[in-house]
Amino acid sequence: MSVNNRPVIGLIPARGGSKGVRRKNMYLVNGVPLVDFTIHAALAAKSIDLTYLSSDDPEILAYGEKRGVLRLARPEEFASDTASATCVVSHLLESLPNNLANQDPYIVYLQPTSPLRTGTHIDTAFMQMTAQDAHSVISVVEMTKSPFKCFSIDSNGKLRSLFEEKMSNMRRQDLPKAFIPNGAIYIFRASEFVSRAGFPSNGSVAFAMTQLDSIDVDSENDFRYLEYIMKDKNG
């Protein structure tokens, strides 16, 4: 579904390596590779016209192609432990056919480490963005610990409130709610990404997700918890 006459392109970053769990994106969760949950969400989202799977790994690319998404072979320099998400998006934009690039498409960046984000989440985020006449969305989750009670430590080892000191003494219920990106959904125009040299954040619509749907998989314990959740949901 084109939005404001612009195509909508899903981008799933799924390199072969991983600092935590070995070959994390192909790690089986109840018999299904982790990356498959995000592929399924992208294909189920009515708002996405086409989806690219960006990877340096032939097995992952072949799996994505079999599932019905477009393969985008990622150069080695964009697939190291130090390569940023900005590099991955830049590579996509450089690789797009001219007929797509010239239409200033929306990019929907979907990390495989957020397996409980669904096509419905993506479509709802898009609807919120268009309803507010905005051009970007970031999915967030409410923080369980208030940042208004946080401190820094100065060069003398002394605590300094990050905000007004009186806020560190207030009840949590009386403090403003605070949210943090959960990594599940980023939506933005290609032109805004280029002009800001990265993901737009200030002024983006906040798409709030639950703590459960915001699970971020990064360790063996995370995988065990995810399997427990999915068995409970299906059970």
Tens digits of per-residue pLDDT, 138-156? 999 999 999 999 999 999 9
pLDDT level of residue 11 (50, 70, 90 thresholds): very high
Report the pLDDT value the prediction gives residue 3, as an integer from 0 to 100: 58
Residue 234 has pLDDT above 70, yes or no: no
**Which residue range forms the structural domain that includes residue 150?**
144-177
Q: Is residue 212 part of a domain?
A: yes
C-beta of residue 67 within 8 angstroms of C-beta of residue 39: yes
Same domain flag for 50 and 152: no
Q: 73 is written with which tokens?
A: 């072979």
Comparing 22 with 95, the larger pLDDT belongs to 95
Same domain flag for 77 and 122: yes
Number of domains in the chain: 2
Provide φ and ψ at 59, rounded to 5°: -65, -40
Q: Is residue 226 part of a domain?
A: yes
Report the pLDDT value the prediction gives residue 10, as an integer from 0 to 100: 98
E strand segments, 74-113: 106-109
Report the pLDDT value the prediction gives residue 17, as an integer from 0 to 100: 76
Same domain flag for 45 and 119: yes
Average pLDDT over residues 182-202: 95
Task: Identify the DSSP state of 204.
Answer: P
**Coil, strand or helix at 148:** helix
- This prediction's pTM: 0.91
C-beta of residue 69 within 8 angstroms of C-beta of residue 53: yes
Report the pLDDT value the prediction gives residue 22, as an integer from 0 to 100: 80
Task: Find the CATH number of the domain harbouring 84.
Answer: 3.90.550.10
Residue 20 has pLDDT above 90, yes or no: no
Q: Is residue 69 part of a domain?
A: yes
